Amino acid sequence: MSRKLFLIITSSIIAVYTTTLFASRVQIIKTKNDRIHTYNEIDNKYDAQHGFAFYQDKNSSLVKTTQNNCCLEMLKTMKKILKEQKKQTKIQDKILKILQKRLDPQPKVITVNGKKCIANSSAECFQMPITAAAQRVPALLSWLKNPTMANTVNYLRWQAKYFIEIYRRADSFPLAVSQFGEKAYPLASHRLGYTSLQGFNIKDLKMKRIIASTKDNFKYLIFLGLNKDLDITSVLNIKALINKYKDLSFTIVFKDKNSKNLFEETANAIYSKKSLSLLTHTKKVINSNAFDKYQIFTTPSIVAIDMKKKKAQTICNGKVEVGYFEEQMFNYLEYNKEIDHTKMIDYKNWNNGVDYRENYYKHILGININSVLKGKTNGKK
């Protein structure tokens, strides 16, 4: 028999056997418990324990018991989860209300004199505002809500205790600086050990040097003419400022001719020509347009012009005093990050030169200490 014929016969036998077996299997399925119907029913369902298309005998009490137990356990678990979720939702709602009250408080409607209005939207609809910080201090909160004598005394006693604790913490600052120096605080602290209660102040001398160092980068405009009485009152201070900072570039800008004449007449009336030398040679202009350009709304006013950055900043308004000018100019430089605070530390300033000791002894004793140290007395040989 050929190999090809043998394969054909074998294939035919297998096909007949398979068909017969399948037919008999189908017959079994049809005749026993109507399982085709059972399969079709279960195919559309999903059993969490057994998966899809799981057959079970409907007549079996064991299967029914297993199904019931499984479903009951799942139901109990779901109920527990649902209960916990409701509990967490309530907690989250409370948290949301607290956050909204603190971070995004909504306008509160109150009734004042029989009329509804939004609290603190006007003076007529006033309600004492209570900050979050106050709410954390019951003594303060009670006093803010109702300032009775009992609440006031209770709050004052609490406040005194609070200040005592603040004082202790404030005391720790100079102690730490004295012990550790700039390692603890790399800023100028101006402790009493480096200044004098009799008027000598290392800070003032250092500030004078800083202001004087602006001579190459800044020009200063002094505006006069909008406030007649204050302009006249400031003549002395303007003269003192110009005399102290001889190297700075000052220009006095008048609103009109009358304000210029008034200033000069006042200066001539109270000073000699010799003492007015620097003020006389200070540049003076009449320029009403400059008042609009630099937005001058009152006088005296001083404007600092940064020539490098090409911008202007009003630094002084009102009665111009030397100390006021220095503080404001220092603030301006500090604001623009042009101050090295480590160089302002008091004990370092004493090593910058010998003029401190000279100024100190001149101020206290009226002698020239440098001359004394060189074997001279009062500056004479």
**d(Cα 72, Cα 66) in Å, to the nearest integer?**
10
- Per-residue pLDDT tens digits for 81-103: 988 898 899 898 888 887 877 77
**d(Cα 204, Cα 276) in Å, to the nearest integer?**
25
Q: What per-residue confidence (pLDDT) applies to 190?
A: 57
**d(Cα 172, Cα 185) in Å, to the nearest integer?**
12
Q: Which residues in the chain come in under a pLDDT of 70?
A: 1-69, 104, 189-203, 351-355, 375-381
Residue labelled with tokens 């009109």: 256
**d(Cα 5, Cα 348) in Å, to the nearest integer?**
115
Residue 228 and residue 262 in contact, taking contact as beta carbons nearer than 8 Å: yes
Residue 303 and residue 220 in contact, taking contact as beta carbons nearer than 8 Å: yes
First CA to last CA across the chain, in angstroms? 150
**d(Cα 119, Cα 231) in Å, to the nearest integer?**
45
Q: Per the structure block, which two tokens stand in for 38? A: 């059972």
CA atoms within 13 A on the CB side of 281: 10
Cβ–Cβ contacts within 10 Å for residue 224, how many? 26
Residues 6+ apart with CB under 8 A from 17: none
311: β partners: 306
Per-residue CA distances from 355 to 26, 34, 105, 282, 359 (Å): 120, 118, 59, 28, 6
**d(Cα 251, Cα 55) in Å, to the nearest integer?**
105
Instruction: Report phi then psi at 283, rounded to 5.
Output: -65, 135
Q: What is the DSSP letter of 108?
A: P
**d(Cα 167, Cα 310) in Å, to the nearest integer?**
45
SS (H, E, C) 281-306: HCEEEECHHHHHHCCCCCCCEEEEEE
User: In terms of Cα–Cα distance, which of 317, 322, 298, 354 is closest to 248?
Assistant: 322
Cβ–Cβ contacts within 10 Å for residue 238, how many? 25
